[in-house]
Structure 1
Amino acid sequence: MTENSGQDALTLIEDMIEKGGDIPKDLPGSLEEQEKLKRILGKIHEMHSFISRMSEGDLDAKLSFRGYIAGPLKALQSSLRHLTWQAKMIAEGDLSQRVDFMGDFSLSFNRMVANLADNRDQLISRKEELERSYAALSQANNKLNILSSITRHDILNHVMVIVNYCFLLKEVITDPKLKKQLEAIEFSGKEIQHLIEFTRSYQDLGVLEPMWQRIPVIFTNPTISGLVKDISVQLPDQCYEIFADQMLVKVMYNLVENSIRHGGGVTEIRISYVDEQSLLRIIYEDNGSGISADEKEKVFKRGYGKNTGLGLFLIREILSITDISIKETGTPGKGVRFEMTVPEKYFRRC
Structure 2
Amino acid sequence: MYDVFITKASTYLPNEPVANDEMETYLGLINDVPSKAKSLILRNNKITTRYYAIDREGNPTHTNAQLTAKAIEGLFDEHFKKEDMKLLSVGTTSPDQIQPSHASMVHGELNIGKSIEVNTATGLCNSGMNALNYGFLSVKAGVQENAVCAGSERMSAWMTADKFNHEAENLKLLEERPIVAFKREFLRWMLSDGAGSFLLENKPRADSTSLKIEFIDFYSYAHEIEACMYAGCDKQEDGSLKSWADYPSDEWLKQSIFAIKQDTKILDKYILVKGAESLRSSFDKHNLDPEKIDHVLAHISSGYFKDGLREEFAKKGMDFPPEKWFYNLSEVGNIGAGSIFIALEELMNSGTLKKGEKVLLCVPESGRFAYSCALLTVC
TM-score, normalised on structure 2?
0.22
**Higher helix fraction (1 or 2):** 1
Higher strand share: 2
Higher Cα Rg: structure 1 or 2? 1
Structure ranking higher on relative contact order (CA contacts 8 Å, 6+ apart): 2
- TM-score, normalization by structure 1: 0.23
